[in-house]
Amino acid sequence: MKDMAAPLASGLEGVVVAETRLSEVDGERGRLTLAGHDVEELAGDGGATFEDVCGLLWGGALPGAAEREAIRAAIAEGRARAFALLGRIGDALTARDGMDALRAAVAHLGSEAPPAAIAGAIATFAAAWARRAAGEAPVAPDPALRLSADYLRMARGAAASEAEARELDTYLVTVSDHGMNASTFAARVVTSTGSDAISAVVAAIGALKGPLHGGAPGPVLDMLDAIGAAAGGAAAGGAAAGGGGEPPAGSAERWVQAELAAGRRIMGMGHRIYRVRDPRAAVLERAIERLARTAGGARGARLALARAVERAAEAALRARHPDRPLRANVEFYTAVLLDALGLPRSLFSATFAVGRVAGWCAHIDEQRRAGRLIRPSSRYIGGVRPRVDTPPGGLI
Ligand code: COA
């Protein structure tokens, strides 16, 4: 009876299930705090690397030089070990979907692999999958590099410039943690049962795969391509092909309206928590601007197209949902940034996992310390069959 009286929160909105020191999402003001640091100060202009944010989330403070080097070396060791494992993970990397491959490959790690080993392995498996999908041999990790530079090198088969590595760091730091998002919650639920770290990470990868969570950026790029092509531009083929640019007036609006009329959602727009523009969109937008300044041309054109589509989508969604702000989320500019970095769109969700694993591992540790089984209630709305031992007409 108690469960019948409780309010139903099918999306668990407003339900607080944990105290955390890791991150805070302020949806009203559009602020993300990562262990005390504003994301806009930490990522990008702040110059934090993936290793820095691992130190921050795993150790509680930004690492000094010696500690940063220790974290870098441990993650590099994780990449080397995972690469050595490639021949022993069966057909995990033959999966057509990069997240299916990642989930299967990570399941081969020792159940209590430490965070640095998991982080190194996810980058290595994701990159190896991309190479295999492109019909190329996997590229062995370079133990001297930091994760961002080596991930780009392993995934593309070509060394990254410092500017590219820096902007991948911007991305990885920006997405490293984000409150009680679905994949983090999945990891915490598994951990709360007393299960192992790899089971929790595998569950998190499964949650991240969905299009409402980490599966959105690939479709965002498809949308930009479709609008660019419909406008007669040469957007299809990605930044490398030189596509994009501001579409002719009205073409983005028409495309967005047609999607909405067909009952489809606009990927990269809307958020469960943010009622203003996702602050991470601004961080990534600046990263693309910096890249466009160093590499020029196509990247700037794609950014102009993305901005025009964002404006059109925002206006259309405002007209449809005047009381529910639906603004650009992190995935919108993730698509443009990862494309500008030369990563294939099929690898975008797995690249999200490369960054978010920092948060997952920290939450697994925090949940273990909390030590309480997460077990919500449900409201039964099925019927009740009469018990077989009840005589017809009921009990006398
Ligand atoms: N495009 C079109 N309509 C959208 C929308 C979008 N991107 N996001 C939300 N809406 C609409 C819903 O259809 C719903 O309309 P209704 O009340 O007429 O049914 C209304 O806005 C409220 O949406 P709701 O599903 O309650 O919001 P949510 O908090 O559950 O959803 C997201 C949040 C992120 C799942 C949702 O905004 C979405 O699907 N976005 C696109 C996928 C995406 O970019 N995911 C990455 C998130 S970081």
Torsion sign, CA atoms 154, 56, 194, 206:
negative
Is the CB–ligand 1 distance for residue 6 below 6 Å? no
Helix, strand or coil, per DSSP, at residue 73: helix
**269: which strand partners?**
328
Where are the alpha helices (H) located in 86-216, listed in sequence order? 98-106, 115-133, 147-156, 162-174, 182-192, 197-208
Is the CB–ligand 1 distance for residue 272 below 6 Å? yes
CB 105 within 8 A of CB 125: yes
37 is catalytic: no
pLDDT for the residue numbered 394: 63
**∠255-256-258 over CA atoms, to 5°?**
65
Å from CA of 344 to ligand 1 middle:
26
Average pLDDT by stretches of 10, the chain with 396 residues: 74 94 97 97 92 98 98 98 96 97 98 97 98 97 98 98 97 98 98 98 98 92 90 47 65 92 95 95 96 78 92 96 95 96 97 98 98 95 87 62
Instruction: Ligand 1 pocket test: pick from 269, 280, 314 the residue with the most ligand atoms within 8 Å of its Cβ.
Output: 269
In this structure, the residue with its CA closest to atom 30 of ligand 1 is 272
pLDDT for the residue numbered 295: 73
CB 301 within 8 A of CB 245: yes
77 is catalytic: no
Is the CB–ligand 1 distance for residue 324 below 6 Å? yes
CB 68 within 8 A of CB 55: yes
Ligand 1 atom nearest 268 alpha carbon: 44
CB 332 within 8 A of CB 266: no
pLDDT for the residue numbered 4: 65
In this structure, the residue with its CA closest to atom 37 of ligand 1 is 270
Q: Could you give the CA distance from residue 25 to residue 178 in angstroms, rounded to a whole number?
A: 7
Ligand 1 atom nearest 214 alpha carbon: 46
